[in-house]
């Protein structure tokens, strides 16, 4: 995984600080997110991906960017060690705290019932499917009330 901090100027940019973005690159696929920090383009070193200078605010900004970089690399390492599929988008989503989409109980039940339906005659009888569908129907009715 490669990380790149860069300034992203808007088309209406005239002067002043510009937002710093972080780009994740995994297997030639990119995803980017804002760091919620900004920097004056005259004080930005594009090669290093950091602000240049020795002022206190510059040091604090660079320390913040270093912390973000280590957090992103740690997330990538944890995801690589686990059984998760690592893409630029999944690393970005974990980085910004965006939760994975979770299924509702009804969605899981409907998925289960469709699998049972495809196995009727081989592993399940029609009456088994009818019981599951009845259970689903009553679960939905109870949830509505």
**pLDDT tens per residue, range 95-130:** 998 866 666 788 888 889 999 999 999 999 999 999
The predicted model gives 127-139 an average pLDDT of 90
Rounded distance, CA 35 to CA 42, Å? 19
Instruction: Work out the burial of residue 39: count CB atoms within 10 Å of its CB; fewer than 13 is exposed, 13-18 middle, 19 or more buried.
Output: buried
Q: Which helix (H) or strand (E) holds 132?
A: helix 126-144
The arithmetic mean of pLDDT across residues 87-97, rounded, is 90
Please say if the pLDDT value at position 83 is more than 80.
Answer: no
- The structural domains of the chain, with segments of one domain joined by +, span 2-96, 105-144
d(CA 48, CA 65): 11
* pLDDT on residue 69: 96
48-52, 79-83, 100-104: lowest mean pLDDT where? Answer: 100-104
Q: What percent of the chain has pLDDT over 70?
A: 96
Distance CA(45)–CA(19), nearest Å, equals: 14
Q: Residue 33 — very low, low, confident or very high, per pLDDT cuts 50/70/90?
A: very high
| Chain mean pLDDT for the chain | 90
Max Cα–Cα distance, the chain, nearest Å: 76
Distances, alpha carbon 116 to alpha carbons 70, 72, 112, 138, in Å: 46, 42, 6, 18
- Tabulate helix, strand, coil % of the chain (nearest 5): 50, 20, 30
- Mean local confidence (pLDDT), 62-90: 91
């Amino acid at each position: 995984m490669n990380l790149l901090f860069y300034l992203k100027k808007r088309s209406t940019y005239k002067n002043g600080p510009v937002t710093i973005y972080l780009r994740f690159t995994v297997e030639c696929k990119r995803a980017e997110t804002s760091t919620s920090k900004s920097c004056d383009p005259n004080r930005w070193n594009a090669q290093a991906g950091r602000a240049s200078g020795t002022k206190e605010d510059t040091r604090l900004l660079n320390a913040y960017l270093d912390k973000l970089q280590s957090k992103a690399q740690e997330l990538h390492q944890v995801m690589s060690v686990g059984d998760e599929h690592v893409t630029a988008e999944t690393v970005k989503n974990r980085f910004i705290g965006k939760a994975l989409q979770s299924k509702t109980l009804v969605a899981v039940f409907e998925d289960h019932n469709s699998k049972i339906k495809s196995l009727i005659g081989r592993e399940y009888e029609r009456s088994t499917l009818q019981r599951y569908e009845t259970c689903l129907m009553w679960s939905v009715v109870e949830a509505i009330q």
